[in-house]
Amino acid sequence: MQSELLVLDANILIRAVLGNKVRGLLEEFSGLVEFLVPDICYNDAQKYLPMLFEKRGMAPEPALQVLAKLECLIQIVENGIYDGYADQAKERIKNRDIHDWPVVATALAFDCAIWTEDQDFFGAGISTWTTDRIHIYFKGS
């Protein structure tokens, strides 16, 4: 049986590090769903997590360790795989946040949905799921 594919935005990775709900869902459904993360989103999470922790007066190393442990649950997608969809992705998201194009391009490359909390993806012509509704997606997997 082939697993479902689902693209994760950087904000989902960050939520998986900061809390238990998203991380628990990734762990629970990793056998049924292949979680794809554009390399730039993973790099963004690595960049922003230390800043978030330092603002809270906390050491960033534990956050980066949790992020690294998540690598066994996700597949980091190199830009060479989704780059061929860049123009189409940018066209779809240009009126929102064009910097999110790698997420859209990855979803187009693999013909799959996006899991995000970012409303910029709504209206891009790709199925988009938020954490409060992702259980519906997982029921179909």
* Helix 39-55 vs helix 10-18: crossing angle, to nearest 10: 40
Number of domains in the chain: 1
pLDDT for 73 equals 96
- Tens of pLDDT along 4-25? 999 999 999 999 999 899 999 9
**Residue 40: CATH number of its domain:** 3.40.50.1010
φ/ψ (deg, to 5) at 36: -100, 135
Tens-digit pLDDT profile for residues 93-120: 988 888 899 999 999 999 999 999 988 8
Pairing outcome for strands 113-115 and 4-8: parallel
Residue pair 110/34 in contact (Cβ under 8 Å)? The answer is no
pLDDT confidence of 141, banded at 50, 70, 90? Answer: low
The reported pTM is 0.92
Task: State the CB neighbour count (10 A cutoff) for residue 98.
Answer: 14
Query: What pLDDT score was predicted for residue 64?
Result: 92
Tens of pLDDT along 48-102?
999 988 898 888 899 999 999 999 999 999 999 999 999 999 999 988 888 899 9
Which domain range does residue 10 map to?
4-139
Phi-psi group of 123: left, alpha or beta (phi > 0 → left; psi -120 to 50 → alpha; rest → beta)? left
pLDDT in tens, 121-130: 888 899 999 9
Rounded to an integer, what is the distance from CA 53 to the centroid of its chain? 20
